[in-house]
Amino acid sequence: WSLYYFNNYEARENIAAHKTCCTMSNKNLCDRFYKIFPDMGCSNFVVFVPASAFGDPHITTLDGVTYPLNVWGEYILMEIKSMNFVLQCRTSRIESINGTLSNATVFTAFAAKEGDNAKFQVELAINNMTLVIYVNDMDITNDFYKDEEFKKELDQISVTREDSSNRT
């Protein structure tokens, strides 16, 4: 079983099957899953967790240690060279109501890239109320906001709008 499956629809089916058989069920069902989809020694299964942010940026490293991130600029949050993957972020200083800049910071952009074919970028718009979204250098912002059930599927990346709590 591998996440490097280029058909996006089938990859999502495989991820859902793995979750059902190995995360939500007992060991016997997971063992059966791996008989059908054997692990070839290169499994990099990653659990996708919906996330949100509130307050000052804090980073929890892979070893579980949390650090405040009150710096501003652009940074590499994660790089996995063997997978040619980079996750970058941008932080900016908070502007108070009277227009002065605080030393506190917030995340204002994220960009992820895997190889040369899968790029995703989301950044806070100038109005500080909406997002600007790019997939493979294509601005999909207007389409994303027009369609409450937005889905964009390309060969190696898919973007889906989910509104589970009246927030996107």
* Domain annotation covers residue 165: no
79 and 132: one domain?
yes
Do 2 and 79 fall within a single domain? Answer: no
- Residue 168 in any domain: the answer is no
Examine the domain organization and report whether 95 and 22 are in the same domain: no
- Whether 166 maps to a domain, the answer reads no
Instruction: Quote the domain boundaries for residue 89.
Output: 58-160
CA dist., res. 28 & res. 35, Å (int): 11
* Tens-digit pLDDT string for the chain (168 aa): 333 434 455 666 777 777 788 878 888 888 888 787 776 555 555 544 444 455 567 778 778 888 887 888 999 888 889 888 999 999 888 888 888 988 888 889 999 999 887 899 999 998 888 899 999 999 999 999 898 888 888 878 888 887 655 444
Same domain for 103 and 152, yes or no, is yes
Residue 106: its H or E element: strand 101-114
What pTM value is reported for the model? 0.63
Q: Check whether residue 44 and residue 1 sit in a common domain.
A: yes
38-46: long-range contacts (C-beta < 8 A, 24 or more apart)?
Answer: 38/1, 39/1, 40/1, 40/2, 42/2, 42/4, 43/1, 43/2, 44/2, 44/3, 44/83, 45/1, 45/3, 45/18, 46/3
| Structural domain includes residue 72 | yes
Provide the domain count of the chain: 2
